[in-house]
Amino acid sequence: MGGVTSSMAAKFAFFPPNPPSYKLITESATGLLLLDPFPHRENVDVLRLPTRRGTEIVAVYVRHPMATSTLLYSHGNAADIGQMYELFIELSTHLRVNLMGYDYSGYGQSSGKPSEQNTYADIEAAYKCLEENYGAKREDIILYGQSVGSGPTLDLAARLPKLRAVVLHSPILSGLRVMYPVKRSYWFDIYKNIDKIPSVRCPVLVVHGTADEVVDCSHGKQLWQLCQEKYEPLWIKGGNHCDLELFPAYLRHLKKFISSVEKSHSRRHNAPTSRTDRHHERYSRWSTDHCLEAPRKSTDHYWRERPRNSIDRSEKFRIIQDYSFKSQNNLDKSRMSFDQIERSRRSVELCHERSRRSIDQQLEKARKSVDWLDRIRAG
């Protein structure tokens, strides 16, 4: 049974765009890594990061001159950072945050194969890079997980105290629960967010569309109910799985949330600190590596997300660009060319079409498998 479920997870839990939407090139004059076809930007670094599982992932780091927070973005399972690049630029600009996005193992130009355990190692590598290369402090980092990206996001957040915040964008309760309404966690399930979110000790914002046909809005609502530090959620009426950035409320609410957690942190930072607080801060910093290396049971099994609708990226970026703020007038405004938009759109559609061919048959097999386990348990 374990071999079957592991094989299914490898085929259907992840949909890396094929071919990748970007290439990595090295600029001969400077030796800098560049993301082709995008022009070099002075405030963007392109990185290769080794992981503890032996793979090497590609990441981008976007600087903002006025940032006091850093967003670590884990994207969905049918995209890569080439498709997300312009959105990363826009979010950094409008939210006034530094932002790191990364590709999972087996995605884009990252090496290896995608798996649940590899995504945990991938986000750890990105997090360590923020601390060690860019001097980001844990209390300044906001983890952002979209769809399947909520899995590595919550896994890391549950093991790291004192994070600034967590954002869950169309999150899943667990992999199996996306396709089957099970009432308990099975050993072969993956991304068991429902079991991990009670351990998260920072403010959590949940954003979900009420018309989501891939991951039902009930996933987001149940996760929000289980949060220890709830922030006002955003249930976007009529929002689907891949179009939440189209709605002005998305960026407006996200900006409000980040402003709120930054103000809260500023008040705590300016308050007099006791000797105990200073000792705890030193210990918290020392224990980061221990938290990241904490053992966890392997659950690299059995889940795939149903194929998504294609993303109209041109409209998505237009809405975000129209939502501007007075303070950003002195910043460069990025624009995505029509060719880049079409390339991203076609890449996502091709990925969805390939996965759509056999997914109904495999879904039925998965349901029969769970029914079989339930019958054994009942007998």
Active site residues: 147, 212, 241
**Count of all residues that appear for the chain in the document:** 379
**Contact predicate 302/5, CB 8 Å:** yes
Sequence-distant contacts of 330-337: CB under 8 A, at least 24 apart: 331/93, 332/41, 333/93, 334/41, 334/86, 334/89, 334/90, 334/93, 336/86
**In degrees, to the nearest 5, what angle opens at C-alpha 142 toward C-alphas 249 and 138?**
165
Rounded CA-CA distance 118/131 in Å is: 20
**Contact predicate 119/105, CB 8 Å:** yes
Q: Dihedral, CA atoms, 235, 238, 242, 245, nearest 10 degrees?
A: -70
